[in-house]
Structure 1
Amino acid sequence: MGYRPDMTDNEDQKKLVDLMSDMPIAMLTTYGVDGPRSLPMARQEVEPSAEMWFISARDTAHTRAIQHNPTVSLTFSARDSWVAVTGTATVVDDAAKLEELWNTFAEAWLPGGPEDPNATLIRVDVEHGEYWDTPGSKVASLISFAKTKLTGATFDADHGSVDL
């Protein structure tokens, strides 16, 4: 396994999107005047076009950081796979899109609903992404880990990188 240079950008992009479909929570890192800051955010959509949406409160440190410096990093993880992406974030006021994406999870943070004047959206246009995947069961991952300890080889993980 390991890094597969024979994969096309389209295959890597599809794999990246497929992995993220089971990873609804990201750690969003902003780079504002106070330096890097990370917080968990629930991803509302991930599109093959590399556009992601998040519902947020407007008056927060992370929305101010995005307005200062729109560069962001997002990391996602699951038991056997990890995704890291970088891109440009924008705070978006779009009532129709907010209504479309609204869910009960958002309501827990913004009880005023999508009409709450403090509710807004963050759109991230992904520019680069990487993934690491250890396909198979937990047993397969343990076998690969044991192999690394015994042979000194590296851990078998499917790795891909794509510029979007």
Structure 2
Amino acid sequence: MADKTETETVTEIMQDTRIAVLTYAEDGRLMSVPMGTQDLDDPGTIHFLTEAHSDKMQAIAANPQVNVTYSGDGGWVSVSGTAARNDDRALLERLWDPSAGAFMEGGPDNPDNVVLTVSAETARYWATPGSVATVVQMAKGLVSDTKPDLGDTGTVSL
């Protein structure tokens, strides 16, 4: 991974993880929900499809600070940023896919279906050499005095 920039590493981990976990504050408590990432070209802008009337959207309107996490064989990313309702109907139509229809009523023409856009500020990441290699490295660390090579970590501004 030495030849990749930190932003490229973060982007790759995010793109390889279909389902993210969105964490937001509701009534003084942190709430987390799984969300399907849509159209991730830039890790600084994350789009989700959701329903405008949901408790999640009401909570985010009151407190837009959110965290989005991605975890897979290639690593882990935690993105901090702000979220906002995005009423761009052309964007909603472009992002709509069959999976959205499984979770949301109607289609992109339903006025309750909107885009939730997260504007990322920072991302903390851990890029691993893969799940099997990580287990091997951890085992080596347990039976020897050497520190295991568990991948690269860092924080990047987006």
TM-score, reference length from structure 2: 0.90
- What residue number does 2:154 align with? 160
Out of 115, 118, 129, the residue aligned to residue 121 of structure 1 is 115
Say whether the 8 Å CA contact 2:129–2:150 is kept in structure 1: no
- What residue number does 1:26 align with? 20
Gaps of 5+ in 2: none
Report the Cα distance in structure 2 between the residues aligned to 1:77 and 1:136, rounded to whole angstroms: 12
- What residue number does 1:143 align with? 136
* 1:115 Cα deviation from its structure 2 partner: 0.9
Deviant stretches of 4+, over 6 Å: none
Aligned-partner residue type, residue 82 of structure 2: T
Q: Is 1:14 the counterpart of 2:5 in the alignment?
A: no
What are the Cα deviations for residues 66-123 of structure 1, in whole angstroms up to 9, with x where unaligned?
A: 1001000011111341111110100111111100100000011123101112101100
Kindly tell me the number of residue pairs found equivalent between the two proteins. Answer: 157
* 1:13-162 matches, cutoff 5 A: 13-48=7-42, 50-136=44-130, 138=132, 140-151=133-144, 153-154=147-148, 156-162=150-156
What are the Cα deviations for residues 126-161 of structure 1, in whole angstroms up to 9, with x where unaligned?
A: 1000111212461x2222011121235355221121
Q: Supply the RMSD in Å over aligned alpha carbons.
A: 2.1
Gaps of 5+ in 1: none
Aligned-partner residue type, residue 143 of structure 1: V
* 1:46 Cα deviation from its structure 2 partner: 1.8
